Structure 1
Amino acid sequence: MTDATAPDGAKIHADVVGAGEPLVLLAGQANSHHWWDPIRADFAGFRTIAVDTLVTGASTAPSGAEFSTRRFARDVVAVLDELGVARAHVYGTSMGGKIAQWLAVDHPGRVGALVLGCTTTGGPGAPVAGKDVVGPLAGPAPAAQRALAELMFTPAWLAAHPGPYSVLGDDGMSLPARRGHRRASADHDAREQVHSITAPTLVVHGSEDLFCPTENGEELAERIPGTAVHLIEGARHAYFEEFREEASPLVVRFLRDHPLN
C-alpha cells in the first residue's frame, strides 16, 4: 500500500499488489479499489496499483478540493511518483475510464498500454442513458441499489450470485463526497482531446450496457487513432466481472502484446 500527497494536500491511497510490469487499476464512480476485488487475481502477473480515487476508500480531501476527472488523473500521477513508477499500463472502467483518458492525454509519457472499459468521451453529443434507465437510481436506497445491480449484471447472473457486490459504491462515502463524484463524472468531456492519445489502446464494452450505452465504446474507438473496440456479447456495465473469463484474458493479452520496454 502507498499514500501520495496531491498539490492541494489531498491524501491519495493506492493498494499495491504483486510484481511485474505496473498496471494502474481505476474504478468507477464513488467506488474504492475494492471494485477490482473479484477479478484482481486475473492480473497476478503484473504489479497492480489499484487507486482509491479522491474521498473513496482511504483517500481524503481538504475542504474545497476540486472534483473532476482531469484532477483525478493528476492524483494518479502523484501515486506513480510516490511509488517511483515512471510508466505504467492503465486499465480504467466506467468513471475510471474517463480518468484514464486524461492520463493518456495529459501525461502520455506515463502511460504504456491503455484499456478503456464501459466508458465515454463525454461532452455534447455523447450517448447517455435515458431517464427510464437512471431514474430508479434516485429512489429509496434498497430499490436504487437493486436497480443499479440490474444495470451492472444480467438477471441470470444476479440470480446465481446473491451478493454482496463490490461495484455498487463505497459505503464509507459521505453524501457530499458522492455528489462530488457524480458531478465529476457528469462533467467529463475529453471528446475533442482523445484524438491525441498515442498509447496503444483497447476499448471494451458490453453489448447490452444501458448505463453507458454501447455506442460510447464504438465512438471512443473511432476517435482514438489505431483503436478497435471489443464488444462482449450479452454483457451489461460490469462486463469485467460477470464475463471475466472472456474479458480478463483479452486485457492481459493486450497488455502482454505491448510491453513497457
Structure 2
Amino acid sequence: MAELRLADGGHLHYELAGSGSPLLLVPGLGGLAEFWNPVLPALAERFTVILHDHRGCGRSSQERIDFSIGQMAGDVLALLDHLGLEKAHLVGHSTGGAVGQTIALDHPGRLDRLVLSGTWAAPDAYFESLFATRSAILRAGGPALYLQSSALMLYPPWWIRDHPALVTITEEAARARVPDPEILLARIAAILRHDRLADLHRVTAPTLAIGARDDMVAPAHLSEALGRLVGGAETLILPDGGHFFPITRADRFVRAVAGFLEG
C-alpha cells in the first residue's frame, strides 16, 4: 500500500501486486481498488497489477473537486508517471472503461492493450434515466438505501440470493462506503457527461470490449457498440453475470482478459 501526492494537493492510495508486464485495473463508480479482489490473484500471476482508489473514494483524498472523466484519467496518468512507466495495459470496468477510452484517445502512447469492461461510449436514454433514478434515491434515502438498491442493479438475482448481506447494509457501514454523498453525486454527473462516441474510430490500442447479456447498468448493446466503433476491436458478451461480472464470473473474466493481453 502506498500514497501518491498529486500536483493539486490531493492524494491517491495505490497498490502493486505480482510481476510481469504492467497492468492498470481501473474500477468503476464506486472507485475502490478492492472491487478487483476476486480476479487479482490470478492476474497477479501474469502481470504487475496496479490498483488505486479513485479520488473521492476509499483511502484516497475525499475533497470535493471538479470531478470529470478527464480528471480521473489525469490521476491514472500521474500514477503511471510516479511509477516511472511509459505505458501499460489497462482494464477499465464501467467508469474505469470511460477512463480507458479517454487515455486511449488523448494519450495513445501511454497504453499497450485496452480492455473495456461493462462500459459505454456515451449515455443513451436508458443510461440517463437509470442514473437519474440512482441519484434521486441517494438524495432522498441516503447512502444505505442507495447501496441496497444499487445491489439489485449491479448483481444478478442468483448472486444476491447467495450473498444476502449485499441488501442488508447498515447505516454505519453505508456511511463508511459513502462518507460524502455530494462527492458521489458529482461523480455520477461526471459519467453522464462522458461522450466519446464520435472519436472511437481513432483508438489505436488493440481493444477488447466485454459485456454481459443481463447487465442492467451498462447493457450489452453498449459494449457491442464499442466493439463495432473501435477499429479491429474484439467483442465478448457473457451470457450472464450482471454488471459486476468481473466478480460473479471471475474465472471467465480472467481467462478472457489474460488471453487477450497476452495475445
User: Considering the TM-score relative to the shorter chain, is it more than 0.5?
Assistant: yes
- Change in Cα spacing, 1:127 to 1:93, as seen in structure 2 (3 Å) is farther
Where in structure 2 are there 5+ consecutive unaligned residues? 168-173
C-alpha displacement of 1:136: 6.4
Distance in 1 separating the partners of 2:195 and 2:117: 16
SS at match of 1:79: helix
* C-alpha separation in 2, matches of 1:14 and 1:239: 23
User: What corresponds to 2:60 in structure 1?
Assistant: 59
**CA drift at 1:193:** 1.9
Distance change >3 Å, CA 238–CA 229, structure 1 → 2: same
* Number of the residue aligned with 1:3: 3
Kept after mapping to 1: 8 A contact 2:212/2:237 = yes
Please list, as runs of the form range in 1=range in 2, the aligned pairs for 1:7-156 lying within 5 A after superposition: 7-44=7-44, 45-60=46-61, 65-122=65-122, 126=124, 128-129=126-127, 131=129, 135=133, 138=137, 140=141, 141-156=143-158
The Cα RMSD (Å) is 2.4
Distance 1:136 1:6 in 2: 30
Q: Distance in 2 between matches of 1:74 and 1:169?
A: 28
Matched, 1:241 2:241: no
* TM-score where L is the length of structure 1: 0.88
Contact between 1:136 and 1:144, CA under 8 Å: does it hold in 2?
A: yes
**1:128 alignment partner, SS class:** helix
Give the counterpart of 2:198 among 184, 192, 195. 192
On the 8 A contact 1:23/1:89 being kept in 2, the answer is yes
Q: Verify: 1:256 aligned to 2:262, yes or no.
A: yes
Query: What code does the residue aligned with 2:61 have?
Result: T
* Structure with the largest fraction of helix: 2
Are the structure 2 counterparts of residues 57 and 142 from structure 1 closer, same or farther at C-alpha, using a change threshold of 3 Å? closer
Aligned residues: 252
Q: Distance in 1 between matches of 2:159 and 2:223?
A: 23
TM-score by length of 2: 0.87
Note closer, same or farther for the CA distance 1:156–1:95 as it changes in structure 2 (3 Å cut).
same
Helix, strand or coil for the counterpart of 1:114?
strand
SS in 2 for 1:24: strand
Aligned: 1:159 with 2:139: no
**Structure 1 unaligned spans of 5+:** none
Alignment identity in percent?
27
Distance in 2 separating the partners of 1:5 and 1:176: 23
